[in-house]
Amino acid sequence: MVKRIIVKSVEEFEEMLQKKDIKISKAIVEVALQNIKSKKRFIPILEVHIQDEESIFDITLDRNNLVETLKQNLEIFEIHEEYEGCARIASAIKSLESRI
């Protein structure tokens, strides 16, 4: 299931990314973990609504980048001290890496 984020402007979204906003990271991780067993190559992750421009853009995750994406978000979870999430992410990474 795709997560929706509503922001006022593209700049606001870019700032959230630069500041490693936990809301974005949680959305990415939640959808990624729900799709670990999916056979789809591209997984829709985020639907970003830009209010100023009245536009929407979609962010997808290539399954080939799943482990890398989880590792990047693990760092963000650690920064925000979301340790339960860290444990879930670490377990998923370990499971995925053992399949390779």
40: helix, strand or coil = coil
Confidence of residue 99 (pLDDT cuts 50, 70, 90): confident
Confidence of residue 100 (pLDDT cuts 50, 70, 90): low
Predicted pLDDT at 24 = 95
Quick: pLDDT tens for 65-88: 999 999 999 999 999 999 999 999
54: helix, strand or coil = coil
Quick: pLDDT tens for 16-43: 999 999 999 999 999 999 999 989 999 9
Structural domain harbouring 42 = 3-99
Question: Structural domain tally of the chain?
Answer: 1
Quick: pLDDT tens for 37-72: 989 999 999 999 999 999 999 999 999 999 999 999
**How far apart (Å, rounded) are the C-alpha atoms in residues 5 and 93?**
25
